[in-house]
Homo-oligomer: A and B are copies of this chain.
Amino acid sequence: MTAPTLDTAPWSVREPHVDLQTLAVTESVFTLSNGYLGIRGTLDEVEPSDMRGTYLSGVFETHPLSYPEGGYGQPEEGQAMLTVADGTPLRLLVDGIALDVREVRPEVHERTLDLRAGTLDRRVRWTAQSGTSVEVSSRRLVSLAERSVCAVRYEVRALDGPVHVLVRSELAAGVVTPTGVDNDDPRVAADLDHAFDPRAQIGTANGGALVERTRRSGITIAATVAHEVDGGRVSTHVDEQHIVTTVAADLLPGESITVIKVVGYSWSYDAGSDSVVGEASAAVSSALDLGWEGLLARQRAALDELWATADVEVDGDPELQQALRYTVFQLFCSAACISDAPIGAKGLTGIGYSGHTFWDVEGFVLPALTLLRPDAAARLLRWRSATLDLARERARTLGLAGASFPWRTINGRETSAYWPASTAAMHVNADVSRAFWLYQDVTGKDLDSVGGLAVLVETARLWMSIGHEDAAGGWHLFGMTGPDEYTGVVDDNVFTNLMARANLRRAAVECQRLAARASELGVDHAETSAWRSAAEAGHVPWDEGLRVHPMNENFTTYREWRFEDQRDSYPVQEHQHYATFYRRQVIKQADLVQALWWCRDEFTDEEVARDLDYYEARTVRDSSLSAAVQAVVCAQAQHPDLALRYLRECALVDLRDVQGDTAHGLHLAAVAGAWLAFVAGLGGLREDHEDLEIAPLLPSSLSRTAYHVTWRGRVLRVETTREGTTVTLTRGEGPVTVVVDGAPLQVTAGAPVHVPLRAPSPLLDEPRQPAGREPRT
């Protein structure tokens, strides 16, 4: 992997020189998004670029899924997030020569993502062939206040001589979308190459609009553009694929022209072109009314509010400080304006995984958002509960009761084409349910306010129809795949069994609490009793000889993996066949270890220590999901230095391109995971009991950490130094009970509590990883 060179700074991410080798990675890193609209950090002049990308959450095309050997119930239709009309292009000609960083190296080329301003700034100083130098300053934003709007301020200044300058600003129709999955069926590429049917092109004096409709999914999308130009001659022309506004000027030294470009988007399943154009145009008008400075001010205000309630601080590790703020920023941006759509695995930062959402959004992104931006969490949970009928339909297809949520989807319909790592991975249903109950635990708001009761009831019914009792009364789930994708189709995966138990129990509790609503869902006492009984009887394998939990029945008897022979063979799945590694002791990502966190009440401290030790030695971490979980559980087992190393790997996953695939988009679950690794890991925060719990640890290389959480409408700030931990109520009324290192304390406004720092008390030595698979960075 080639990581981009980025300056380390507390409040910004700055690339000091343009680097063509890492252009694809910086396109992802410099993505601006608000959850409704996302735009990759491509250069204004379009070329060079790795993957142009403007995305609207929920806008996708379908394509057939065809199987060389199919089977009953395999999804027949895939979905892929589309690259919609791109409003970023601002091509520059100076004395007839195009600015192209490949052709003439600029003397200055800086790009800076400002985490407080919410802007991507670019400064280029460049000498044209005529010998004259110009300075280009651009500032781009995707509005956090006006969800449909992207705006750019683009200024060209002549430095040392008269120049003829031409700026060609484009709105360009949606481009070819790579499939983003390993689907090499030519029909898929064909469908996505020709996803858009142009419907209208409208030119105005200073811009215009493009309307397109997707051929298969039937979504109408409008993009509208307008320009405010200071200086120069302006003209606009239109073709089927472009709205082009040209600004030409003759500049004397020191003179400049400035173009402010505003682009608005709208889309609809059912509205006509006119209506969609109208909405997009209104968004542009609103932005123009606010003006450039107004947009900037609102952007900063939104982020001021973010940092006031969600800032993270760390002393002793500037790289980590930057990375953690970057993750909070991207996490916030991924969901700020989202509505009626899921967050994809890459958010709106690239078309990796075709824009699909997976269980890790509910598993990591939602719990983090619930503690940071509960309003965004609520909107995401509402999207999920709105897909319940599709999940019911999928369960019927599978011959099961209740609802079975999809492994990967954009609109709620299952689109996964490899069942052993999707349909068999039924834990997704408990992961979804958990996001609902954590929402209630953290916010204090009723989970049914976001449609949670029906989700819990239908997933409980699903588990009952999958599981069964043995002759001795033990309750089992056979043929499951847990989080670890290197161990598939196994019996009694501990994580799945424990999560199913939790799902059943919580469903029963909530049905009791919301009896009338439960009754509407057809739940009676007999049913909840059956859920409780199954949960009680849920089988958890145990290896008495090793005194560890096999992650599934027989796991500890599988053949050991020869890690020493495999040093150059990662990721394992690209060098070995499923049939080989599904029954070996090689683990892609935390699975049993994840249960030690999410199902912590089921394990003693000694079990946590011994299980962690066993699985650390066998986990190769070929998934970016894993480091966060390992960080949390290493901290839980009192190994803060190792936890920090995992936290660093996770937090730097995209800024350092640790996985080598940030080019396809940011790793949103790792982005959320990094925050969780910090807060639930080093901070020991647990939100799944009656009161908020923390158990702070400070790794030897750090001198201070601090973070905020929003807990039942209040904001708490937790700061830890060598002296101890101070919990401050920064917003809302107290008192709030916070359990610090097991002791409940009352926090009220103006009266922080302080607890001395405890030394780590591990039961075992720090665990070892397979050779070469220690935490990276």
Taking Cβ atoms with an 8 Å cutoff, the residues of A that contact B are 65-73, 78, 181-188, 397-400, 416-420, 423-424, 468, 470-471, 476, 478-479, 488-489, 491, 545, 553-554, 557-559, 573-580, 582-583
Contact = CB atoms under 8 A, between A and B. Distances in A.
A186 B183 contact: no
Contact of A582 (B479, B579, B583): B479
A718 to B, nearest CB: 42
B68 A582 contact: no
- What 7 A-B pairs are tightest by C-beta distance, nearest first? A68-B417, A479-B583, A478-B583, A468-B559, A73-B577, A69-B418, A69-B417
A471 B68 contact: no
A475 B188 CA distance: 46
Given A185-B185, A554-B491, A71 B419 contact: no
Contact of A419 (B72, B557, B579, B583): B579
A467 to B, nearest CB: 8
Given A68-B185, A68-B417, A478-B583, 13 more contacts: A67-B68, A68-B78, A69-B182, A69-B416, A73-B576, A397-B577, A399-B577, A419-B577, A419-B578, A423-B578, A478-B558, A479-B579, A491-B583
A399 B69 contact: no
Given A68-B67, A68-B417, A185-B68, A582 B397 contact: no
In this complex, the member of A72, A183, A400, A470 whose beta carbon has the largest number of chain B beta carbons within 10 angstroms is A72
List the number of copies, as a whole number.
Answer: 2
Contacts of A187: 186
Contacts of A489: 420, 488-489, 582
Contact of A577 (B188, B423, B478, B554): B423
Nearest to A75: B68
A497 to B, nearest CB: 14
A105 to B, nearest CB: 41
Nearest to A571: B72
Nearest to A582: B479
Contact of A65 (B68, B476, B558): B68
B184 A70 contact: yes
B70 A182 contact: yes
A181 B419 CA distance: 20
Nearest to A569: B399
A312 to B, nearest CB: 36
B67 A183 contact: yes
Given A420-B420, A559-B468, A583-B491, A578 B183 contact: no
A665 B418 CA distance: 31
A416 B575 CA distance: 19
Contact of A579 (B181, B182, B423): B423
Nearest to A474: B557
Given A184-B66, A419-B578, A479-B583, A71 B573 contact: yes
B554 A399 contact: no
A488 B478 CA distance: 12
A182 B74 CA distance: 13
